[in-house]
Amino acid sequence: MIRIFGILAGLFFSLSVLWAFISGAIAVAPVLGEYGQFTEPMADKVFHEKHPPALHLQSDGPFGTWDLAQLQRGFQVYKEVCAACHSLKFVAFRDLEELGYDKGQVKTIAAGFQVPGVDPNTGEATTRPGMPTDYFPSPYPNEIAAKAANNNAVPPDLSLMAKARHGGPAYIHAILTGYGPEPEALKQQFPDFKVPSTGHYNKYFPSLAIAMPPPLTAEGQVSYAEGQPKPTIEQMSTDVSAFLEWTAEPKKVKRTQTGWPVLGFLLFATILAYLAKKQVWAALKPKKKHTA
Amino acid sequence: MSFPWAKQYEPKHPLMRYLDEKLPMPRLVYNAIGSGYPVPRNLNYMWNFGVLAGFCLMLQIVTGVVLAMHYAANSQVAFATTEHIMRDVNWGWMLRYMHANGASAFFVVVYLHIFRGFFYSSYKAPREMVWLLGVVIFLLMMATAFMGYVLPWGQMSFWGAKVITGLFGAIPVVGEPIQIWLLGGYAPDNAALNRFFSLHFLLPFVIAAVVILHIWALHIPGSSNPTGVEVKSESDTIPFHPYYTAKDGFGLGVFLILYFAMVFFLPNYLGHPDNYIEANPISTPAHIVPEWYFWPFYAILRAFTADIFFGLIPAKLMGVLAMFSAILCWFFLPWLDKGPVRSGHYRPLFRKFFWFGLIPTMLVLFYCGGAPAEEPYVMLSQLATAYYFLHFLVILPIISSIEKPEPLPYSITEAVLGKDEAAQLGDSADTAK
């Protein structure tokens, strides 16, 4: 009885889904020539570069380490360029000690930022110089102010940006260097496509039109300390991507460095476990017959 | 229960004798996973995954309880406390990655455990109850994992919660009130997050309780084995300890190597980048995808794109019914698949449908569930869904009535040692017992 009900239920589900398959197939039939495209492709589907070019950082891979000089340069780019619009709310000034700054330097950096505070005499909201325990302040008092200042687009917080996009730091680097004029092929193929007046063409951005104006426009926009590489747009983009890789996961290098001894111990323990298993099970093997 | 030749617990130390009189806990363990549990001697490595699943459950409970000490289930701060765990809590990043990847590891071993059950028909009598309880555990796991994924309150947490709770809205007439009642609002928010956290904390202990029943039910008939032939005599079995404790120890080592390689070197590989963006009810992600372990069932849900019976059953309701039925039909397997032979090794017709039907179908569903809802993935998942239901509900019942199984070995001992050896055990095995 269960089997008869089972067969009926099975046929019901299978036939229903096949019905959906057939109705779908009928809908597709007129454009079967271009299987898989119900409508004309959109400009952003054709011209969007889905995969950012590879970016190699010293922190990559299971043996990666932080390039502290690069992280300091990246922090400088963030502070002098990105911080004008983007917050970094999960990073505290004290965390900067991990980039090789000493306590005094961190204090100075923190004091350079104005953070929200309360006037001790009047109790009114005001600002005060930051302390190492403070977090990076937002450049806007609230979201409405952020929208108002940026044509209705809120500049996202950058703390986790390197983990929140496919490609991570490579994506950030690609966006920073992916600006340019609309290609001629795009104008010919999609005459209707238009970057809105508040947008900027960027081939790595999913809609091809990003609200952020090109932030790094000229070599030497940030002046690096002596002995550091030349601050080309490429160099600054790479440095700030490396910095944001650190802000996204400050414990990344500690993680991979912890991994090796753990795996080493487990490998050793597993070999022992295998030998123990072999020895225990050897007792079960039938004794070989003595052949003459 | 056990076989008559099972070894008896004999406490030697006076303290253990005293304990055995008052609270025979050591006796229970001895008979459950010690020398007092005789197990078929021919279990292969596919039989390791039950123990590994139990290990994963404990791992999730331990890491989860510590994470809960640092997490705050409030939609205002949930995302920030998750980052607090990653940045400021000592070894918090490791705990969180162990917990997140632990969920994936748990599903990997449980899927392999279920795969073992399918191939060797472990669900057949006399182990129906073991199977039924196993399906209950699987359903509880899915509920727990879903609610756990909501807790970090990222974009995928929020939109995943919205899609899954939206399924209840497909129920005719009462659907929407039920959905609002379950969520405590019109969309997932603080009320939903709070109850999900509470249930996510509770359900693992419910799972642990059902696991105890699962093992209890298993110990009545004893473990199945790759031949599917029942235990006939003492020479067919070996005590669980030391033989299978040693084998499981090795299996656990291999598992831990793979698991910690993920935790330390690819901790976000199985996650979605969007979940590192804080939940935003007014910005929908381009593609809403659940965690990988839900993909096959998500594909079934989305395969139903047309109304049935001229709109009597809307496509969405049909998808929800099918998704739940896809797992609920497993409950009936012991009665749908009737044949007396268990092991796929001796079932030629079953084997063909298993390897060339079910397994490719599951892989297609898995792939399509993670892909965007575009062609050709929708059509592929429709064909695979059709086969999925045909396989369990139509093909298995028919196979089991018409199939002519291959000859079975007389006994487990014969299968292991061969006929000519006259089922002879080594001398040392006797002394080992």
Tens digit of pLDDT per residue, chain B (433 long)? 578 889 999 999 999 999 999 999 999 999 998 999 999 999 999 999 999 999 999 999 999 999 999 999 999 999 999 999 999 999 999 999 999 999 999 999 999 999 999 999 999 989 999 999 999 999 999 999 999 999 999 999 999 999 999 898 888 889 899 999 999 999 999 999 999 999 999 999 999 999 999 999 999 999 999 999 999 999 899 999 999 999 999 999 999 999 999 999 999 999 999 999 999 998 899 888 999 999 999 999 999 988 887 778 888 899 999 999 999 999 999 999 988 899 999 999 999 999 999 999 999 999 999 988 887 888 999 999 999 999 999 999 999 889 999 999 988 988 888 765 444 454 444 444 3
Q: Does B266 touch chain A (CB under 8 A)?
A: no
Taking the CA of residue B301 and the nearest CA in chain A, the distance in Å comes to 10
Q: Does B332 touch chain A (CB under 8 A)?
A: yes
Which residue in B75, B99, B121, B248 is the catalytic one?
A: B248
Chains A and B form CB pairs within 8 A to the count of 189
Q: Does B426 touch chain A (CB under 8 A)?
A: yes
Element (H, E) at A210: strand A209-210
- For residue B303, give the nearest of A17, A163, A262 by CB distance: A17
Q: Does B273 touch chain A (CB under 8 A)?
A: yes
Whether residue B394 and residue A163 make contact (CB cut-off 8 A), yes or no, is no
Whether residue B190 contacts residue B75, with contact meaning beta carbons closer than 8 Å, is answered with yes
- For residue B386, give the nearest of A14, A254, A277 by CB distance: A14
Which residue in B7, B70, B84, B219 is the catalytic one?
A: B219
Q: Does A206 touch chain B (CB under 8 A)?
A: yes
Whether residue B329 and residue A283 make contact (CB cut-off 8 A), yes or no, is no
What gap in Å lies between CA B376 and CA B392, rounded to an integer?
A: 25
**Nearest C-alpha in A relative to B155:** A164
Which residue in B75, B104, B121, B223 is the catalytic one?
A: B223
Whether residue B385 and residue A17 make contact (CB cut-off 8 A), yes or no, is yes
Chain B positions touching A250 (Cβ under 8 A) are: 87
**Nearest C-alpha in A relative to B273:** A164
B272 labelled catalytic: no
